[in-house]
Amino acid sequence: MRKRARKTSPAKLYVKGKRTRAAIVSQALRIASGEGLPALTIGRLATELRMSKSGLFAHFRSKEALELATVERASDLFADNVLFFAEGDYEGLEALWNLCDRWLEHIEKAVFRGGYFFTGAFFECVRQHGPVPDRITQTVQVWFEALKNAVGQAHKHWEIRLNVNPRRTAFELNGLLLGAYWAHLMGDRGALEDARSAVLGHLQKLVTKEIPVEAFESVRAFRKYLRERHA
């Protein structure tokens, strides 16, 4: 007598589906990080993941849905590695420094295969509209606002002079970081560490007398100063 095949429970099917979807998005992010969103196709993913197109299509009904899920995953990674980590329990000048430091660190750790995922993605979709371009633009705006707000918080803590413009300072720091990233991509191995020194030099010009001059002698000295503030 033939045994009846056991049916997979709905809960197990749900978990399996979530795992499959996560694997698809992870592979999609690897492709998009290294080659850009235009390189992302259902066919290519199906081949690389050894899935059928119909099986993959069951999880993402369109290329736009796949791209959006990929951008959402990239946004979460950026937030976890830069924004949330940098904010933590830090305030004022320390929060501003940590934002810049963590941004550089996520490049060093290659959180995204191609470096800073949103630089390329933003330039690809600038002035376009739709769920994917809008989500990319939103992430870039959140980053810029975080820089600007950190300058404003440093004002409130009397660590940065009141005549310093938060928006302009955010532009300057963001430009410095992007410039270092470009140099890094061109093979300059010291670009990211040099960028830390440049950020520190820029901050030194903005701070009030509340911050000791010797704290800016080097990146190491500044980190020591920040640790001692919590002691």
3-state class of 213 per DSSP? helix
pLDDT on residue 114 = 76
- Are residues 182 and 114 in contact, defined by beta-carbon separation less than 8 angstroms? no
Strand partners, 160: 207
Q: Comparing C-alpha atoms, which of 175, 184, 212 is closest to residue 105? A: 184
pLDDT tens, 34-46?
888 888 888 888 8
- Are residues 116 and 195 in contact, defined by beta-carbon separation less than 8 angstroms? no
The rounded percent of the chain whose pLDDT value lies above 90 is: 57
Residue 86 resides in a domain:
yes
Going 116 to 102 to 99 to 196, the CA torsion angle's sign is negative
- When divided into structural domains, the chain yields a total of 1
pLDDT on residue 46 = 86
Q: Comparing C-alpha atoms, which of 85, 61, 67 is closest to residue 31? A: 67
pLDDT tens, 97-108?
999 999 999 999
Residue 193 one-letter amino acid: E
pLDDT on residue 128 = 85
d(CA 209, CA 88) in angstroms, rounded, equals 25
CATH number of the domain at 153, please. 1.10.357.10
Residue 51 resides in a domain:
no
**Quick one: how far is CA 206 from the chain centroid?**
26
pLDDT on residue 85 = 63
Residue 11 resides in a domain:
no
**Which residues, given as ranges, of the chain have pLDDT below 70?**
1-17, 85-88
Residue 48 resides in a domain:
no
> What does pTM read for this prediction?
0.86
pLDDT on residue 14 = 44
Residue 155 resides in a domain:
yes
pLDDT on residue 88 = 58
Q: Which two tokens stand for residue 154?
A: 């440093």
Residue 220 resides in a domain:
yes
pLDDT on residue 222 = 94
pLDDT on residue 86 = 56
Residue 148 resides in a domain:
yes
Q: Which two tokens stand for residue 155?
A: 């004002």
pLDDT on residue 195 = 97
Q: Which residues span the domain enclosing 157?
A: 65-230
Residue 6 resides in a domain:
no
Q: Comparing C-alpha atoms, which of 95, 96, 103 is closest to residue 78? A: 103
d(CA 70, CA 77) in angstroms, rounded, equals 11
Q: Pseudo-torsion of CA 36, 38, 44, 46, nearest 10°?
A: 90
DSSP annotation of 218 reads -
